[in-house]
Amino acid sequence: MTPHDTDFAEKRTPSILSVMNSHVTDRIISLREYMRRRGVHAWVVPSTDPHQGEYLPARWQARSWLSGFAGSAGTVVVTADRAGLWTDSRYFLEAEQALQGTGIELHRLGTSGILDYPAWLADALPTGSTVGVAAQTIAVSAYRALEATLHRAGIDLHPGDDPFTEIWPDRPALPSDAAYLIGHAVTGRSRAEKLAELRRALSIHGATHCLVATLDDIAWLLNLRGSDVPFNPLVCGWILVGPETAEFCVDRAKFVEEAARDLEADGIHFQPYDEIEDLLRALPKDVTLFLDPTKTNMALSAAIPAACTRIEGRHIVTTWKAIKNPTEQTHIRRSHIRDGVALTRFLCWLDSAWQTGSLTELSVSEVLREFRSAEEHYVGESFRTIAGFGPNGAVVHYSVTPESSLPILPDNLLLLDSGAHYRDGTTDITRVVPIGSPTAAQRSDFTLVLKAHIALATARFPAGTNGHRLDVIARSVLWRHLRNYGHGTGHGVGFFLNVHEGPQRIAAEPNDVALLPGMLTSNEPGIYRADQYGIRIENLMLTREPEESEFGSFLSFETVSLCPIDRRLIDVSLLDEEERAWVNDYHARVESELLPHVAGADAEWLTRQTAPL
């Protein structure tokens, strides 16, 4: 799954688009009327919720509801006479289609001459104007940056109430799904141990309390999971951790009584979900509160008494969560074996099934889910499968719908980006399958992507190296052939948690987070030819413990994903000796790990696909 790819845009037929676009026009009119009543000249609608997560429950998908654009990244700005959507290159094609006939202008971020939305507002609005944004849905850091830009132009920024409470008549309620606990035999550390270590770390930082607002941080800290967010095992709540106890703002009814009592035995007090602001307002003046300004919304920030001392920084829990402990690493490897078995059975089936002429992108996605669901500890998909055949494979964030689903017919490439949650790990993997006979150009592009993938997989780098510096290792392989891709090369992955997890990432954009031993990160370069095909090869990698030399400590990667890379697409003449050796070694390990778990035609297919080049 490409970095920061979370939500799923849909292709729609013209008739569906016309109906949806009339709704969009009406909704923008409603927002403008709301703005008029409050004396606000522009309103900002970000792609975030009160928890500042990347994954949103239906209730908080306001930007999608307002604009009709369902991609995960984007901001809508509405003024009295204009409306715009700002998004990046991953979503240009989806956004163009979604915005047709809505009157919303598409601003292609990263394109020459295109202002970001704060600069656009500063340029478009006269001095003395007021811009509104829902305080619940904008992070402190984002608010400060926007405020600074607008202030220089003489424009005020107002953190207001959520307008969609009024203008979205059938807005979904907060999710109320059940939550459950997972044991430290799986997580490697008990909830009590994590809380005790957090309190020690807070003391070292000079803090007495901390606010944990992000849902995956909460799930990791308390060893709990749920299903409040599609494709993510999360529970909607907030935690205020103090020296002795922790206030957990969540619906207690989500938990069976035994689980609730286990939490209470560890000093966790249940409070209603919407009590978090009142709890913050009631903090005594001698409290020193640690919070992450990138993960704390403005409404929560405003509730903190001025007499309290604040300490701001990257959240301690976020970094701890990213570093998988030895127990988690063991389970990650086991879950990837089961995932590899499911993929082997699926790909063996696909190799003959496509020849019937009856398959579609949609049916292939459904069959893949069925193969995975047969594996032990399977919970669900970690994101909606991206099954892009031919030209749809070139749409980086393509999501198949009944209207868009193409038949799988020769001759072209099928890109499959998919993943699963198991109770002992999360997977994310991309493979490309030739349907019929691949062209020489397709094999060349595929092999160049493979070379880029191998370059990163085999990299050794000094301890302290960040993902920004590692990105060029993969990307430069394609640059030498005048090729490139618009998304990042790698993203963090959670342990039975979000398939996108920070703080690390491997991308061209600057990032000061060093890769640390135990981090789980994707490796997914690609090539996309518009209206033709897309190619991406993705595996997950654990960062290994350092090796020492007289020049310092050096890190490397262990690839944990286990699935053949389709040899029919490899132009061996383009690989050097070390690259061929990597492919053969990887395939030997895939066969060794998976063959004991498959039989018959599946075993024969696996042996053929993993034979030495």
Residue 357 and residue 429 in one domain = yes
Query: Three-state SS for 332?
Result: helix
Q: Domain limits at 211? A: 180-320
Inter-residue contact 556 to 548 (CB < 8 Å):
no
Query: Residues of 171-187 as b/e, b for ≥16 C-beta within 10 angstroms?
Result: beeebeeebebbeeebb
Mean pLDDT of 63-90: 93
If asked whether residues 104 and 232 sit together in one domain, one would say no
CA distance 367 to 408: 14
Q: Is 246 a domain residue?
A: yes
Is 427 in the same domain as 554? yes
Closest by CA to 233, choosing from 382, 377, 51, 71, is 382
In this structure, are 368 and 476 located in the same domain?
yes
Q: What burial letters (b/e) apply to 517-543, b meaning 16+ CB within 10 Å?
A: bbbbbbbbbbbbeeebbbbbbbbbbbb
92 and 219 part of one domain = no
Which of 298, 320, 342 corresponds to the end of one domain?
A: 320
Mean local confidence (pLDDT), 358-387: 97
So what's the pLDDT on residue 566? 98
pLDDT at 9: 30
Q: Has residue 5 been placed in a domain? A: no
Other residues' Cβ atoms within 10 Å of the Cβ of residue 613? 12
Q: How confident is residue 365, by pLDDT bands cut at 50, 70 and 90?
A: very high
Q: Name the most confidently modeled range: 7-21, 55-69, 103-117, 363-377.
A: 363-377
Is there a single domain that holds both residue 377 and residue 522? yes
Virtual CA dihedral for 203, 207, 208, 209, nearest 10 degrees?
Answer: -120
What count of other Cβ atoms lies within 10 Å of the Cβ of residue 126? 9
pLDDT of residue 54: 84
Residues 289 and 361 both lie in one domain: no
Confidence of residue 319 (pLDDT cuts 50, 70, 90): very high
Mean pLDDT of 292-320: 97
Q: Considering the chain, what percentage of its residues have pLDDT values greater than 70?
A: 97
593 lies in some domain = yes
Q: What is the CATH number of the domain that holds 568?
A: 3.90.230.10
For residues 244 and 342, membership in a common domain is answered with no
Residue 20 confidence class, pLDDT cut points 50, 70, 90? low
Please check whether residue 3 lies inside any domain of the structure: no
- The pLDDT tens digits for 523-564 are 999 999 999 999 999 999 999 999 999 999 999 999 999 999
Same domain, 104 and 163: yes
Whichever domain contains 198, its CATH number is 3.40.350.10
How far is the C-alpha of 76 from the C-alpha of 225, rounded, in Å? 32
Q: Are residues 351 and 473 in the same domain?
A: yes
pLDDT band at 11 (very low <50, low <70, confident <90, very high): very low
Predicted confidence (pLDDT) at residue 436 exceeds the cutoff of 70: yes
Q: Is the pLDDT of residue 4 over 70?
A: no
Structure confidence at residue 3 (pLDDT): 63
If asked whether residues 367 and 492 sit together in one domain, one would say yes
Residue 9 lies in a domain: no
Q: Does residue 369 lie within any of the structural domains?
A: yes
What's the pLDDT at 17? 39
Name the domain count of the chain.
3
Q: How many C-beta atoms surround the C-beta of residue 332 within 10 A?
A: 23
Q: What is the pLDDT of residues 208-231, one digit of tens each?
A: 999 999 999 999 999 999 999 999
**Who has greater pLDDT, 508 or 1?**
508
Is 572 a domain residue?
A: yes
Point out the domain boundary residue: 320, 339, 362: 320
Give the C-alpha separation, 65 to 61, whole Å: 6
Q: Does residue 247 lie within any of the structural domains?
A: yes
Pair 456, 567 in one domain: yes
* 30 Cβ contact list (under 8 Å, min separation 6): 167
Domain boundary residue, one of 138, 167, 196: 167
Cα 464-498-606 angle, rounded to 5 deg: 90
pLDDT at 14 over 70: no
